[in-house]
Amino acid sequence: MAIKAKNVSLHYRNHIALHDVSFDLTEKKIYGLLGRNGAGKTSLLSILASFTEQSDGSLTINGEAPFENAEIMQQIAFLYDKDYSGETDKVMAVLEDVAHYRPHFDMGYAEELVGRFKLPTDKPVKNFSKGMQSALNVIIGLAGRTPITIFDEVYLGMDAPSRDIFYKEVLADQQEHPRLMILSTHLVSEMDYLFDDVLLLNKGRLLLHEEYDTLLAKGASITGSADIVDDFTKNMDTIHETKLGGTKSVMVYGTLREEEKQAAIAKGLEIDPLSLHELFVHLTEEETE
Ligand SMILES: Nc1ncnc2c1ncn2[C@@H]1O[C@H](COP(=O)(O)OP(=O)(O)OP(=O)(O)O)[C@@H](O)[C@H]1O
């Protein structure tokens, strides 16, 4: 499976939702797609899932354009906040329906997950709570074992224990049946351990695509006496600052070389790693905030 996006833009009537987005996703791993509200995550995923066509640029999946391409659509599962208000069938009937058009669907696993999420089997899906409907989407996505599986903020309404089951199952099933999986989210601190790679969208532009470990290695917080911190970080890319009395803490982005770290420690500065949550918040912060 290879997804290649080259200078993809998407314009709605009077709004540019995606601007010049380029990336290659070529491995069977878990890609985390992060972005604030309105960053363009759903717009991008809709193009990948062939629901929408880009206005400019090219997007190919295994070398072909996905839009209205039945063969490519077979290879992709797009799970999103679906409206089940008209679904009069019960959960097992819905899953059997899905299994008909998903060649890799594992009904045994789906039934196991219905039990794990404690979904009622005796009432129509339209009467499920929001969190139960989201769990059904998770089950369809996991048991479908589709080569490209996309979960677009699929956890909406799920309580913390249910989300925890979702995350654990993603990891366990991905281990057994690797596929190219994309998880879009803004629950970054809760899900960061799932990601092999991170793509960060900001205002319709792709700010970065990095391996998770590489990205984390680029962030650091440097704390100490304000004037020493200022001097040490004056040529660095600063993404956030806090000051308390004479002590200052500066978050920097970019790779801090080993000798720079040693020099900082020698000056009495403290260097700490940043979390993905901190990088997400500060890299996407408005200038004026
Ligand atoms: N059909 C549409 N017509 C006009 N503008 C739209 C349409 N759909 C989305 N947009 C706009 O495009 C931008 C990106 O929206 P999108 O839903 O892709 O963001 P998102 O990152 O998924 O956001 P969220 O995290 O809030 O779900 C937003 O400003 C949104 O208002």
For the chain, give every residue range classified as CATH 3.30.70.240: 215-283
Q: Whose C-alpha lies nearest to ligand 1, atom 25?
A: 37
In the 8-state DSSP scheme, what is residue 105?
Answer: -
10, 16, 37, 41: which to mutate for ligand 1, most atoms within 8 A of CB?
Answer: 41
Q: Which residues line ligand 1 (CB under 6 A)?
A: 12, 15, 17, 35, 37-43, 186
Phi, then psi, of 217 in degrees rounded to 5: -65, -15
Residue 120 token pair: 């009622």
In this structure, whether the domain defined by 3-203 belongs to CATH 3.40.50.300 is answered with yes
* DSSP summary character for residue 35: E
- Residue 1: its pLDDT value, please? 83
Q: Quick one: which atom of ligand 1 is closest to the CA of 46?
A: 18
Q: Are 90 and 121 in contact (CB under 8 A)?
A: yes
DSSP for residue 207: E
Q: Which fold has domain 215-283?
A: Alpha-Beta Plaits (3.30.70)
Q: Are 23 and 32 in contact (CB under 8 A)?
A: no
Residues 173, 177, 181, 185, Cα dihedral to 10°: 0
> Strands 76-79 and 247-253: what pairing?
unpaired
For residue 23, the tally of other CB atoms under 10 A from its CB is 19
Confidence of residue 67 (pLDDT cuts 50, 70, 90): confident
**Which residues, 6 or more positions from 169, have their beta carbon under 8 angstroms from its beta carbon?**
113, 116, 138, 142
Distance CA(61)–CA(76), nearest Å, equals 10
Question: If we measure between CA atoms, which residue out of 123, 144, 125 comes closest to residue 84?
Answer: 125
Which of 200, 199, 119 has the alpha carbon at shortest distance from 158? 119
Domain with CATH 3.40.50.300 in the chain: 3-203
pLDDT beyond 90 at 111: yes
For residue 273, the CA-to-ligand 1 centroid distance in Å is: 33
Query: What's CA 161's distance to the chain center, in Å?
Result: 20
Interface predicted TM-score (ipTM): 0.94
pLDDT of residue 289: 44
Using the predicted structure, report yes or no on whether residue 227 has a pLDDT greater than 90: yes
What pLDDT, on a 0 to 100 scale, did the predictor assign at position 285? 87
pLDDT in tens, 115-145: 999 999 999 999 999 999 999 999 999 999 9
- Whole-number Å distance, alpha carbon 28 to ligand 1 midpoint, is 28
Determine the residue type at 18: L
Under a CB-based contact definition with an 8 Å cutoff, are residues 25 and 31 in contact? yes
Report which ligand 1 atom has the smallest distance to the Cα of 43: 18
* Other residues' Cβ atoms within 10 Å of the Cβ of residue 100: 8
Which atom of ligand 1 is found nearest the CA of 40? Answer: 18
Token couple for 18? 């995606």
Average the pLDDT over 237-252 and give the result: 95
User: Best substitution site from 16, 42, 155 to test ligand 1's pocket, by max atoms within 8 Å of Cβ?
Assistant: 42
Phi/psi-derived region of residue 226, left when phi > 0, alpha when psi is between -120 and 50, beta in every other case: alpha
Pocket test for ligand 1, best of 12, 53, 188, 200 (most atoms within 8 A of CB): 12
Q: Render pLDDT for 85-107 as a digit per residue (tens, 0 to 9).
A: 999 999 999 999 999 989 999 99
Ligand 1 atom with the smallest distance to the CA of 204 is 14
Please state the three-class secondary structure of 54-71 as a single string: CCEEEEEECCECCCCCHH
d(CA 173, ligand 1 centre) in Å: 31
- State the distance from the centre of ligand 1 to the C-alpha of 11, rounded, in angstroms: 11
CA–CA distance, 287 with 247 (Å, rounded to integer): 23
pLDDT of residue 288 exceeding 60, the answer is no
- Pull the structure tokens for residue 21: 């987005």
Q: What is the pLDDT of residue 287?
A: 62
CA-nearest residue for atom 23, ligand 1, is 38
d(C-alpha 151, C-alpha 186), whole Å: 12
CA distance 277 to 286: 16
For residue range 162-220, what is the model confidence (pLDDT) as tens digits?
Answer: 999 999 999 999 999 999 999 999 889 999 999 999 999 999 999 999 999 999 999 99
